[in-house]
Amino acid sequence: MKYVTIMDIAHALGVSKSTVSRALAGDVQNVKPETMELICETARRMGYRRNEAAVNLRRQHSKTIGIVIPEVVTSFFMNFIQFAQHDLRQKGYRTIIAVSNEDITQERECLDMLVQCRVDGILMSVCHRAANASLYQDLMSRGIPMVFFDRRVDGVEASQVHIDDASASVYMVEKLIRSGCRKIVHLLGPEHIGNATDRLHGYREVLEKFKLPYNPQYVVSGGLSAEEGAQAMERFVRSGLEFDAVFGFTETAVLGAKSVLQKMHYRIPEDVSLCCISGTALCTLVHPTLSAVEQPTAEMADTACRLLLEQMERPVHFKPQTVVLSGEVVLRESTKAV
């Protein structure tokens, strides 16, 4: 495994490595056009590829951004990464992605690895609203810019961008009620995810607004996965309580619930309406298609990248800011018309 270096090129052409370096960097101020052309051509011919490690060492930055996400089963995070990569690449940054698997220990390891790689900044969606807060704070005080997206994090002085979960819930549940539903089950997300609480608040807010009674029995822990959602649904159905709609914290859980319901021959949406927050392309792939509040993924990625880049450009007197985006209600076949 022998890579060609600028010294190899310099030697082959009888010039100094400085000149080669400048030529390859396109420094038109300091190198004669024909020399430049010659060097670039030779580099191409010899198959030269710059050694990033050497560059990173010399310049004191890596031109890479770390992205930490909690899971890879939903396509939301992958879509986010795609958009973010597009934005960052345009600004000359590479990305390195790390998955915490919804585990705070793995999350710490991810962060550790990113620090070792000397990433210039971190885009992060936490797996726990508070558990690693002091670590984030520590990293940021060490001068590593961070922006948190999608999942809210508490007690950290940092830029964040997420959707207005409470409002999103309000929109969605209101649609449910206006379409005639009265007994709405809420598949609650895990307590350690901040957004779960907000979505529950939104749900309760609408009930109050419409003077409907709030019954805690209709709020069941639906987890994150399809399995958990299915189990929660099954348990609820067995409890014998009447219901005419399910509003879920997340897509996968609702899909699990949907399977259970369909297996029991509930008709959707005639017998039960189904909807959730943070839907992805999956919602359109199932039958009936699922009504959901869609995350503005592209906008979220753009905003997160912008915030991060701004913070990296002017690290001094930078003020953390929280951007709240609004989700878009998309009504599909799993809910009745209002």
Residues that bind a copy of itself (CB under 8 A): 1-3, 47, 49-54, 56-57, 60, 62, 72-73, 75, 78-79, 81-82, 85, 94, 96-97, 99, 112-113, 115-118, 138, 142-144, 226, 252, 255-256, 258-259, 262, 281-282, 284-289, 315
Count each helix (H run) and each strand (E run) in the chain, helices first.
13, 12
Please tell me whether residue 163 binds DNA under the rule CB under 7 A.
no
Short-list 287, 197, 322, 205, CA closest to 249: 197
Residue type, 135: L
Residue 112: name its binding partner from a copy of itself, DNA, none (Cβ under 5 to 8 Å by kind).
Answer: a copy of itself
- From 25-33, 80-88, 153-161, 267-275, span contacting DNA (CB under 7 A): 25-33
How far is 196 from 152, CA to CA, in rounded Å? 10
How far is 255 from 266, CA to CA, in rounded Å? 14
Q: Minimum Å distance from CB 194 to DNA?
A: 35
Residue 156: name its binding partner from a copy of itself, DNA, none (Cβ under 5 to 8 Å by kind).
Answer: none
Cβ proximity to DNA: between 20 and 67 the closer is 20
Pick the binder of DNA from 46, 54, 285, 324 (CB under 7 A): 54
How far is 40 from 80, CA to CA, in rounded Å? 36
Please tell me whether residue 50 binds DNA under the rule CB under 7 A.
yes
Beta strands in the chain (DSSP E): 64-69, 94-99, 121-124, 146-149, 159-163, 184-188, 219-221, 245-248, 273-279, 291-294, 322-325, 328-330
Q: Minimum Å distance from CB 161 to DNA?
A: 32
Token pair recorded at residue 72: 């890879």
Q: Nearest 5 degrees, angle CA 28-CA 31-CA 34?
A: 100
Q: Nearest 5 degrees, angle CA 106-CA 108-CA 112?
A: 115
Q: Is the dihedral of CA 336, 186, 213, 293 positive or negative?
A: negative
User: If binding means CB under 7 A, how many residues of this protein chain bind DNA?
Assistant: 30
Cβ proximity to a copy of itself: between 50 and 306 the closer is 50
Please tell me whether residue 289 binds DNA under the rule CB under 7 A.
no
Pick the binder of DNA from 11, 30, 37, 209 (CB under 7 A): 30
Please tell me whether residue 326 binds DNA under the rule CB under 7 A.
no
Pick the binder of DNA from 11, 16, 134, 180 (CB under 7 A): 16
Pick the binder of DNA from 11, 25, 138, 191 (CB under 7 A): 25
Please tell me whether residue 143 binds DNA under the rule CB under 7 A.
no
How far is 42 from 36, CA to CA, in rounded Å? 10
How far is 126 from 117, CA to CA, in rounded Å? 20
Residues near DNA, by CB under 7 A: 3, 5-7, 14-19, 21-22, 24-25, 29-33, 35-36, 48, 50-51, 54-55, 57-60
